[in-house]
Structure 1
Amino acid sequence: MNKIEEKRSIRAFMLSNVMAGLEGSIVATALPAMMAELHGIKLMSWVVTIYMLLMAVSAPIWTKLAERFGYKKMFVLGTLLFTLGSLGEGLALNMTLVIVARALMGLGAGVMIQLPFVIYGLMYQANERRKIIGNTVAAYSFSTIAGPIVGGLIVTFLDWRWVFFINIPIGLYMAWVVGRNFDLKTTHTKKAIDFVGSATLSVAVIAMMLVFQMIGNEHINLLAIFILLFLSFLFFTGFYFAEKRAADPIVPLELFKNPSFNAKNAMFFLQYGFFGFYTNYLPTWAQGVMGATALVGGMVLIPSAIMLVVGTRNVNVLVQKFGEKVTIYLGFGLMIFGAFFLFALPEHSSIVLLFVATGILGTAFGIVNITLQVAVQEAVAQHLIGAATAVNALLRTMGTTLVLSGLSIALNRTFTGAVAHDSRLTNNLLNKISDASALRLIPHNLIAPLRHTLFNGMHLLAMIAGLLLLLALVVNWLDPWKKASR
């Protein structure tokens, strides 16, 4: 593979992250039109959930398959699955077909999000890797923010089905570019595939993530949660014993004997939990508390995406000057400043201050994310890079899901307390106040108390999220920051 072929392949890998990230957020704008045409509102949540679940649980499996059959073959296969799922979703005649197609897209996205980072770990040294991973993460971040805007334009001027049809030519082009240009020379393992480990891990993680989702609901089904927790425990136990016996385990248990690897994953878990807070709740803060339009509310996250690029571009300078551990202190310190900047905002403040906050958080996220991403791979031996990267991706997703569920419980309790204290308020009105376009449906005299209630909820979430980051600082202090010998 010459330099031109290498650059073409890297661009395709970056585009794969853009597509997978875009798909995760663009579908939200298509859902209302899909529900109206397919009459499947009761299954609506599964359109989003099935994609995220299969993207998360398939990452370790794809990595192991790539080690056995080759990274190029698996990347092309995953991209084609994603493209096929896009075609199926665009042609779907009912919600069942939508969900099946969405599952295929999630499986493909597991490749498109995961394998590029493993490939970077195998191809490049730390400094160059930080630069390339930084560009990829920045592209992914932009795509998740652009998703609702792009989706809104497509649904408005074309049809919701084109949200999915548009993936087809791009996916085919990506698969062609990688198939034609990419060639990574690695030794393929010939050991037996760990089917038992793959199956038990998948069931355990899916059950656990469904628990995370359910505990964030307004009405909690305790019986269903108990059954899922028991199922998850049962299959995690089975997974542990399967990995002890497997000739080529999908997740080598020796990874978890490495304290530096464990510490970095814990920091990633906490960081992505915080990331879930500010990307999901700040647009609601802008609309519900400050009265911004949906368009302006969505734009609140744009400074984050822009400044993330600034953060990633300066990581190598910071690491060379201060070292990785101090760079993480600086990044988390800046993130904590952003979190408590949000906590200190008065109720009647300018929306400009939210733009400032997201700019601060984006810079910090770029610094921390890229430094940790490379450090996770540097903490393990060369032959464990794929498994370590896959485990890290899975834990990041679980961190976001778990923290968002916990924040949802905290917000619901705030709402419940407010409704109990003021009989004029209802949960239905609180849902409406978070959408600026629904203000006309709310009695004028209730707008102020509803906004005050939502403000109190956002304040509480900002405090909880900031405490998570303080815990991450403690984990960094405990981390020995040892690198594996190469």
Structure 2
Amino acid sequence: MNQETKQKSVVFALLIATFLTAIEGTIVSTAMPKIVEDLGGSELYTWVISVYLLAIVISTPVFGKLADLFGRKIMFTIGVSIFLAGSMLSGLSQSMEQLVLFRLIQGIGAGALTTLPFTIIGDVFTFEMRAKMQGWMSSVWGIAGIAGPLAGGFIVDTVSWHWIFYMNLPFGIVSLFLLWTSLKENIEKKKRKIDYSGIFTFAVSITAFLYALTLLKEQNHVTGGILTLLIVAAVGISLFLWIESRVEEPMLPLSLFKIRFITISTIAGFLLGFILVAITFYIPLWVQGVTGLNATLSGVTMLPMSITWPLAAVLSGKLMAKTSIGRITVMGISVIAAGCLGLVLFNENTIVPLMMIVTAMIGFGFGLSLTAFTVAVQSSVEWKVRGAAMGTFNLMRNLGQSIGIAVSGLWLSDQLSGHVLEESLHTVFMILVVLALCAIVTAGMLLGEKGGQLSLN
């Protein structure tokens, strides 16, 4: 990396881009009732969010690999431009069908904003500084988690829902300008080969798989259509892996999985993604459906998680200079497991302060573990494959969340209140304990691996 890079400006650009991605989910969810009231098409309500997440899952590893081929700056610029175009078009939508299509475009761009900031941090900073930067990035997610619902409600009530999309434009432009003028990279000029066949088979396979999960969540049993989609996904993934093992510049280099840190981090990332999405969805449901409190208090219950996560991320960075990554991740996931065990002990009389203690523990555990895993992936590869490595790690986290919400939904009762709901959520929480224990075992394979072994320029 060229020494002319202005690190502070690069960090500021990445923080802005990360904030746009982080706030998008919560701010749109808050505005959806008003959007449906204006545009109609309530049957497409969930697709406004689902199609955005689908696009992110597909485009994340694609942008990661293309950044290795053509450079971070150009792919970041393309990604942000697509995201802003999708934002503008979403704000101009005159029907729910249009909004779904434009959210797809926005999600494709968001894939770059989801993974490239972490890749660039790996390029610009040394091992010791990468963890500190992850703490800052986590802080942005925490702030967005708090500010998103408040900002969404304020904009919808005082201006118009259109502006939750328009507001992205000035921030995105500032981020682009800062990164373009501050990040210097030397890209070797030679003809690049894009893995079109791999990208196409991956997109078809993942779309079929996630659509099958969406239908499974809605219907709660396997139908002929769902089975067909799962077969298409399985055949497609098999074909994708065959293609990746043979092309010159694979979208997903299978050689990455020969690296111990990456293999273990992606497996653990998948499990933690599953746990995270279940906690995010089902604790508020418990507060409202079992305890019988209002939506505001369900938000208050989740608030400590947004605070302890970034604090633990900063602590994780400091610990990395003193102890092994394996020890930090095992410690963090053990705290998550203890928090999940606390969820199992919830009952209808559990008071909000006790629930807040549990969510604080869970947020702290995620801050410790995911920060360490992210830095491990960043630091275990050289520049030319770092984009693909981070894309793969983020892909597995996203898949864990997508699969988690669908699979855990199979145990959720149709009755969303009372003792029936309480029993079904206890079952889900016990599954989370088991998954956390599996993640501890997985992370334990890194015990003894020193962070210093990963220091790369």
* Pairwise same-fold verdict (TM > 0.5): yes
Question: What's the secondary structure of 2:322's corresponding residue?
Answer: helix
1:356 is displaced (CA, Å) by 0.8
Q: Distance in 1 between matches of 2:120 and 2:253?
A: 19
Residue 105 of structure 2 is matched in structure 1 by 104
Match in the other structure for 1:424: none
Offset, 1:63: 2.0
Match for residue 86 of structure 1? 87
Aligned to 2:427: 460
* Distance change >3 Å, CA 292–CA 189, structure 1 → 2: farther
Contact 1:192/1:247, CA 8 A, preserved across alignment: yes
Equivalent in the alignment of 1:357: 358
Partner of 1:123: 124
Contact persistence 1:68–1:189 (CA under 8 A) = no
Task: Give the whole-Å Cα distance in 2 for the aligned partners of 1:221 and 1:463.
Answer: 24
Distance (whole Å) between structure 1 residues aligned to residue 349 and residue 190 of structure 2: 61
1:42 aligned residue = 43
Distance 1:485 1:144, change over 3 A: closer
Residue deviations 1:203-246 (CA, integer Å, cap 9, x gap): 11222222222222244451221111111122212212222221
Paired residue for 2:442, among 472, 475, 485?
475
Partner of 1:250: 251
Change (3 A) 1:475 1:364: same
Cα distance in 2, alignment partners of residues 400 and 70 from structure 1: 29
Which amino acid in structure 1 is aligned with residue 195 of structure 2?
A: D
- Please state how far the C-alpha of 1:281 moved relative to its aligned partner: 1.3
Task: Please state how far the C-alpha of 1:484 moved relative to its aligned partner.
Answer: 6.6
The structural deviation recorded for 1:11 is: 1.1
Corresponding residue for 1:51? 52
Secondary structure at the counterpart of residue 291 of structure 1: coil
1:368 corresponds to which residue? 369
CA distances 1:108-141 after superposition (whole Å, capped 9, x unpaired): 1011111011111122222200110121122123
Contact 1:312 / 1:366 at 8 angstroms: preserved in 2? yes
Partner of 1:217, secondary structure, is: helix
What is the rounded CA distance, in whole Å, between the counterparts of 1:462 and 1:142 in structure 2?
26
Deviations 1:448-472 (A, max 9, x none): xx42222222222211111100011
Structure 1: gaps (5+ residues): 416-426, 432-449
Shift of 1:189: 5.8
Cα offset, 1:307, TM superposition: 0.7
Q: 2:87·2:169 contact (CA, 8 Å) conserved in 1? A: yes
Q: Does the 8 A contact of 2:126 with 2:455 survive in 1?
A: no
User: What residue is the counterpart of 1:141 in the other structure?
Assistant: 142
Task: Compute the displacement of 1:381 (Å).
Answer: 4.5
The answer to whether the Cα contact below 8 Å between 1:218 and 1:409 also exists between their aligned partners in 2 is no
Measure the CA separation in 2 of the matches of 1:112 and 1:381. Answer: 21
Q: After alignment, is 211-220 or 338-347 more displaced? A: 211-220
**Closer/same/farther in 2, CA of residues 189 and 473 from structure 1, 3 Å limit:** farther
Q: Match of 2:12, SS?
A: helix
Q: What residue ranges of structure 2 are gaps of 5+ in the alignment?
A: none
Larger RCO, structures 1/2 (Cα 8 Å, 6+ apart): 2
- 1:15 aligns to what? 16
- Secondary structure at 2:280's aligned position in 1? helix
State the 1:352 CA deviation.
0.9
Radius of gyration: which is bigger? Answer: 1
Is the contact between residue 145 and residue 302 of structure 1 (CA under 8 Å) also seen in structure 2? yes
Distance in 1 between residues matched to 2:455 and 2:76, nearest whole Å: 29
Measured after TM superposition, the shift of residue 68 of structure 1 is 2.7
- Once residues 320 and 277 of structure 1 are traced to their aligned partners in structure 2, the CA distance between those partners, rounded to angstroms, is 32
Closer/same/farther in 2, CA of residues 327 and 102 from structure 1, 3 Å limit: same
Shift of 1:385: 1.7
CA spacing shift, 1:378–1:219, aligned 2, 3 Å: same
Seen in structure 2, the aligned counterparts of structure 1 residues 189 and 197 have a Cα distance that, compared at 3 Å, is farther
Change (3 A) 1:484 1:189: farther
Asked if the contact 2:119–2:390 (Cα under 8 Å) also holds between the matched residues in 1, the reply is yes
1 CA distance for matches of 2:211 and 2:250? 25
Q: Is the 8 A contact 1:68 1:188 kept in 2?
A: no
Please tell me the residue identity of whatever aligns with 1:104: I
CA–CA distance in structure 2, aligned partners of residues 38 and 221 of structure 1:
32
Q: 1:23 to 1:113 in 2, by over 3 A?
A: same
Q: How far does residue 485 in structure 1 lie from its aligned partner after superposition?
A: 8.8
Deviates more, 1:3-12 or 1:29-38: 3-12
CA RMSD of aligned residues (A): 2.1
- 1:290 equivalent to 2:291? Answer yes
1-structure distance, mates of 2:380, 2:219: 41
The alignment of Structure 1 onto Structure 2 pairs a total of residues equal to 452
Aligned-pair CA distance for 1:364: 0.9
Work out whether residues 381 and 484 of structure 1, in 8 Å CA contact, stay in contact via their aligned partners in 2. Answer: no
1:134/1:370 contact within 8 Å kept: yes
Aligned equivalents of 1:329, 1:69: Cα separation in 2: 36
SS in 2 for 1:314: helix
- Letter of the aligned partner of 1:468 in structure 2? L
> 1:60/1:189 Cα in 2 relative to 1: closer, same or farther (>3 Å)?
farther
**Amino acid corresponding to residue 409 of structure 1 in structure 2:** L
The 3-state SS of whatever aligns with 1:248 is: coil
Distance 2:432 2:196 in 1: 38
Distance change in 2, residues 1:384/1:211 (3 Å): same
What amino acid sits opposite 2:95 in the alignment? N
Percent pairwise identity = 28
Structure 1 residue 71: Cα displacement: 1.4
Instruction: Assess if the C-alpha contact under 8 Å between 2:142 and 2:307 holds in 1.
Output: no
Find out whether 1:271 has 2:272 as its counterpart. yes
Q: Residue 156 of structure 1 aligns with which residue?
A: 157
2: CA distance, partners of 1:145 / 1:288 = 22
